[in-house]
Amino acid sequence: MGKTITEKLLAESLVEGELIRGSRIGIKAHQTLGHDLNAVMTFLALESLGIDQVKTEVSVQYIDHNMLQADYKNADDHRFLREMTAKLGVICARPGSGICHQLHLEHFGIPGKTLIGGDSHTTAQGALAMFSVGVGGFDAAMAMAGEPLYITMPKIVNVRLTGQLQPQVSAKNIIFEVLRRLSVRGAVGKVLEYTGPGVDSLTVAERSTIANMGTETGATTSVFPSDQETRKWLRAYGREQDWQEISADADAVYDEQLEIDLTSLVPLIALPGSPDNVVPVTEVEGTKIDQVMLGSCTNTALNDILSIANILKGKEICGSVDVGLYPSTRTVIRESIKRGAYDDILATGVRFFEPSCGGCNGCGYAPQSKGVSIRTTPRNFHGRSGTKDDQVYLSGPEIAAASAITGVITDPRRLNVPEFTYELPEKFIEPGNLFYPNEKYAGPIHYGPNINPIPTFSEMPEQFTQKVLLKLPDNVTTDQICPAGALYLPIRSNIPKIAQHSFMLVDPEFPQRSKKEQGGILIAGENYGQGSSREQAAIIPRYLGISTVIAKGFARLHLANMVNWGLLPLQFLKEEDYQTLEPEDVLNIQTEDIQVDAPFKILNQTKGYSFLVNTPISKEELAVVRCGGRINELKQRIT
């Protein structure tokens, strides 16, 4: 029986278990990446474990998220990261060099390797036929220390592409179509593997847009073959020696099949609130807009910038619309200047920002109150932009650029735009000085006043009796648990401070109520913790005394973070039990009764009945939770 691309990639990094669907496997990272928003916690964890040198082939630290230096906090974090990376043998990018996912694609991604990254959109490297998994900061630290990452061997979905994209219908529309069909939880526990003749027409940058946003389906990752397009990409960056051909065998067996005819795709747009709320742009044409954000890790590669310039050239943006562009890397900036595209866009009235994640993660460029914003970003969860009552639509760059001209949501096919074709350069400009000198640092590590030690947590008690403090619906995001935005990102690693804002978009009184009750229990629906890799979304409820989350289902990445920080995940067996529970109900949980793959009872003392739950984690993970988290478990093991 032949192998899929996914199976071939996993075989190269497998260190424990067998590649049997649904089984627990351990994989080793050849590479890791991190960014400044999550990596402070990563390096604090490495320090607490006494690690003095990373044990990967290459580890890269990027500084691209917390770029606003309104006070000392972000600058202190960046100095800390420079010193820690130089001490531990990690490559560190200079601030402003570019967005981590695009920079890694340009300089470090290698077909056939496994990459573990402290960001949920690490999956973008699947464009280079890498097995790329997003994790929380602690799992990133463990990967850098040479420890395996344990995952459930995923099912593999063959997304077969046929045909070819039509003018003004870019690759972003492919992943929108996948999201429209699968939803934000339709690929949980699965890998999306792209094959078929339609793949040949997509550049590596376009594949990266698709692989990046595959995260929004809940997928473990997405992968593309390594073919001649991959080879051209690596050659253009002077790395052709890293190329190898990787494709699925003709008789490879998949668990599911999804077929998309690229020729039939039309411009699509995601309505506010969720990336899977996808409709043809024609359904919302004419909607007045206030802001356009061009850029982010999904849509400011060179091909995107040139496409935007092709639409905007010789025109002016609408007077009532604010338009900003975040380029992806300095290389893209210089290539765009060389072709005149930067000047074409600048002349229209568009604002230019440095290459960073910026407005996508709420660190700047928030829309006005109740503002309608079109963004080429991968997420549009309410409040993520930094404005609580935002109305954010997601689109490809063509819709966004066309709408910037007209002031309303516009189908770009209606504009008289010259046909755009893109050819990958034979060789990209090398801007130089993107990374700090790779020199060993033996000096003192500077800890700014905002950098606090990692909190320590106690072991799980044999039983606890607590109130339900919050009842949550389906698809609660990490943005709702731990807020984004320029006011909160700088304190992300200061757990006592960020905990004061936990669930602020849902219930601003939650932190005070939790403190008054000395902890409690959370009830949630399906896909609890969808979204980013931020482990603080697990840490701060735990810090506030939350002992367990009982949900209908959990997002993969957040579930792993809960285990790492000793927050007990339990799962309803019946829908009616979720419906019956209410805030203020007092529950008694005998934790000593918990066994993997076996239901057990929880007593609702307030209403005088019991209901059954189970835990969705493995025996090994349950042992970690009983210890109070991964750090406790590792220290016990070492002792």
What percent of the chain clears pLDDT 70, i.e. is strictly above it?
A: 100
Is residue 338 within 8 Å of 42, Cβ to Cβ?
A: no
Q: Give the 3-state secondary structure of 265-288.
A: CCCEEECCCCCCCEEEHHHCCCCE
pLDDT digits (tens, 9 = 90+) for 149-192: 999 999 999 999 999 999 999 999 999 999 999 999 999 999 99
pLDDT of residue 67: 87
CA-based R_g, the chain, Å:
24
User: Where is 137: in which H helix or E strand?
Assistant: helix 137-144
Fold of the CATH domain 268-414: Aconitase; domain 3 (3.30.499)
pLDDT tier at 49, thresholds 50, 70, 90: confident
* pLDDT, averaged across the chain: 95
Sign, CA torsion 302/305/308/313: negative
Summarize the confidence of residues 1-15 as an average pLDDT.
Answer: 97
One fold for 5-264 and 268-414: yes
* Assigned CATH for 5-264: 3.30.499.10
pLDDT digits (tens, 9 = 90+) for 501-534: 999 989 999 999 999 999 999 999 999 999 888 8
Whether 638 shows a pLDDT value over 80: the answer reads no
Summarize the confidence of residues 482-491 as an average pLDDT.
Answer: 87
Return the SS3 of 221.
strand
Locate the domains of the chain by residue range. Answer: 5-264, 268-414, 464-638
pLDDT digits (tens, 9 = 90+) for 91-122: 999 999 999 999 999 999 999 999 999 999 99
pLDDT tier at 478, thresholds 50, 70, 90: very high
pLDDT digits (tens, 9 = 90+) for 324-379: 999 999 999 999 999 999 999 999 999 999 999 888 888 889 999 999 999 999 99
pLDDT digits (tens, 9 = 90+) for 226-253: 999 999 999 999 999 999 999 999 999 9
pLDDT tier at 274, thresholds 50, 70, 90: very high
Round to whole Å and give the CA distance between 108 and 239. Answer: 9
pLDDT of residue 300: 85
Selection from 167, 164, 168, 217 nearest residue 193 by Cα: 217
Superfamily the domain 464-638 falls into: Aconitase, domain 4 (3.20.19.10)
Whether 639 shows a pLDDT value over 70: the answer reads no
Whether 485 shows a pLDDT value over 90: the answer reads no
Structure token pair of residue 309: 């310039």
Beta-carbon contacts of 444 under 8 Å, excluding residues fewer than 6 positions away, are none
pLDDT digits (tens, 9 = 90+) for 284-326: 999 999 999 999 889 989 999 999 999 999 999 999 999 999 9
